[in-house]
Structure 1
């Protein structure tokens, strides 16, 4: 398998959803409604499995498909489409996979399993339920998948706390603006202003060089991004909801494919 399956799984889902033009247009072609050159946030995100080079016969390949805001209303249609996907091939050896079950991403209740669809398991989760405030003065931020943030056209390689907070507040604001919901704009602005007061205690980041081939554009694309970990110290309590939201929603470019996934650990010192 390639080292990062986000774009591969995106292709599998895209080919299947393309058979349903209205559904495909809303999920996969949303950017074209925003005007030329405008960076439009997508109403979905794929969270690929952790990197695994080889799969043996009988092993499971598990991934998440997250629908945001109004797109959550299309969950039943998406599940019904994917449930009809009998098999697909991925990887250099075109290994054959077949869908086994579709589970709720947080509650793990079966939505579709062994041909049975359970509509009652399609429960919408509110980000506020997992983005709670914690008393904290120290946190660790682990970049699980390549974090791609560009500034002035160049990839940002020196991360700091304000960059993380600006990225998540912007992402939430764009999702709310386009797909419904609410965000406290004053709290978001205040968090960005205060983020410079948080001190970086340690960092161990490195540039992960990665390329992927785009069948649509018929060219190789640079997907390099930052990996590693950072720790921060300071009055972090007001920031913990934003940090937990970043863990769920990802930050940076190509988050649709699973880039920018963070693990967050906070504690009081």
Structure 2
């Protein structure tokens, strides 16, 4: 049913001037990527994309600022659609890289975004050439790898080179007839309720699973093979029946928004969340969520988890 090209890549950079990344660098990396992509792609040099005659065909808009449909959508009302990429930053903790050291992180691309891989890699390279993090440290993209599980295959040696052919699908979701799974969250999970941030006590299986199903359905529709024939009411009702055992703790985190000129609190929960019951309808989505993440700010790496199946 789900047919979505999907791939994870590891990017290796050699640091050229001291480079400091914050405790959670996803937002910093996304900002460097977006600025470089826009600087190299935008032909009009307008300050905003709204009203641009090239919007529909512009690679920057397609990748970084995809536009929602003008007509009403049956799933939800929204002012933006999910991006078809996820940045997975280095492990938690502020770190300064010295010249000559290697800085590595992962990106996940879905659907049509994979077609833009050469441009995306070039934009990351240019972003690091311009400067990243506190002090605008610089680095050079030296290698890119296609990653499946614990295996990694080199696909690019140095910026601007040819990219080796590689698979753009992930292994299929396992057949699972069990009644329990555990999600191990490695980066903070943020969910909303009634337009505000939900507290850990307000996290429910329905809130988690329908957020995940909706995210994947929208990525599939706007960046992949079209809409999925899903019965959202039935799935929501099924999620209501599931048991839940949460071993979660709050992790505070904030980032500075240059657009809003203020600090934004982006704390969330990490830890494990066990779901029990008739979980089978959600397995394909839970499986793909290991690449696509779930919840608010998934684009720059929040809501990342590992899925454990209990047979």
Instruction: Tell me which interval the TM-score lies in, with the shorter structure as reference length.
Output: 0.7 to 0.9
Q: What does residue 3 of structure 1 align with? A: 23
Listed as ranges, the matches of 1:150-165 within 5 Å are: 150-157=192-199, 158-165=202-209
Is it true that 1:12 corresponds to 2:32 in the alignment? Answer: yes
TM-score (norm: length of structure 2): 0.75
- Distance in 1 between the 2:216 and 2:97 partners? 39
- Distance in 1 between the 2:263 and 2:284 partners? 37
Is it true that 1:222 corresponds to 2:257 in the alignment? Answer: no
Of residues 134-143 and 57-66 in structure 1, the stretch that sits farther from structure 2 once superposed is 57-66
Q: What does residue 60 of structure 2 align with? A: 24
Is it true that 1:252 corresponds to 2:295 in the alignment? Answer: yes
Q: What does residue 47 of structure 1 align with? A: 88
1:111 equivalent among 155, 174, 185: 155
- Distance in 1 between the 2:163 and 2:183 partners? 36
1:189-240 residue CA offsets vs partner (Å, 9 max, x unmatched):
543321222211x322223222111122222122122222222222333332
TM-score (norm: length of structure 1): 0.85
- Distance in 2 between the 1:92 and 1:83 partners? 18
Q: What does residue 166 of structure 1 align with? A: 210
**More helix, by proportion:** 1
Tell me how many residue pairs correspond in the alignment: 265
Any idea what SS the aligned residue of 2:152 has? coil
Given that 2:125 and 2:140 are in contact with CA atoms closer than 8 Å, whether structure 1 keeps it comes out as no
Q: 1:115 to 1:9 in 2, by over 3 A?
A: closer
Q: 1:137 to 1:241 in 2, by over 3 A?
A: same
User: How far does residue 166 in structure 1 lie from its aligned partner after superposition?
Assistant: 0.4
Q: 1:156 to 1:217 in 2, by over 3 A?
A: same
Any idea what SS the aligned residue of 2:103 has? coil
Of residues 27-36 and 151-160 in structure 1, the stretch that sits farther from structure 2 once superposed is 27-36
Is it true that 1:140 corresponds to 2:182 in the alignment? Answer: yes
Given that 1:247 and 1:262 are in contact with CA atoms closer than 8 Å, whether structure 2 keeps it comes out as yes
User: How far does residue 149 in structure 1 lie from its aligned partner after superposition?
Assistant: 1.3
1:173-203 residue CA offsets vs partner (Å, 9 max, x unmatched):
1112212225643366543321222211x32
Of residues 52-61 and 32-41 in structure 1, the stretch that sits farther from structure 2 once superposed is 32-41
Structure 1, unmatched stretches of 5+, are none
Given that 1:149 and 1:253 are in contact with CA atoms closer than 8 Å, whether structure 2 keeps it comes out as yes
Given that 2:191 and 2:208 are in contact with CA atoms closer than 8 Å, whether structure 1 keeps it comes out as no
Any idea what SS the aligned residue of 2:95 has? coil
Structure 2, unmatched stretches of 5+, are 1-20, 43-57, 72-76
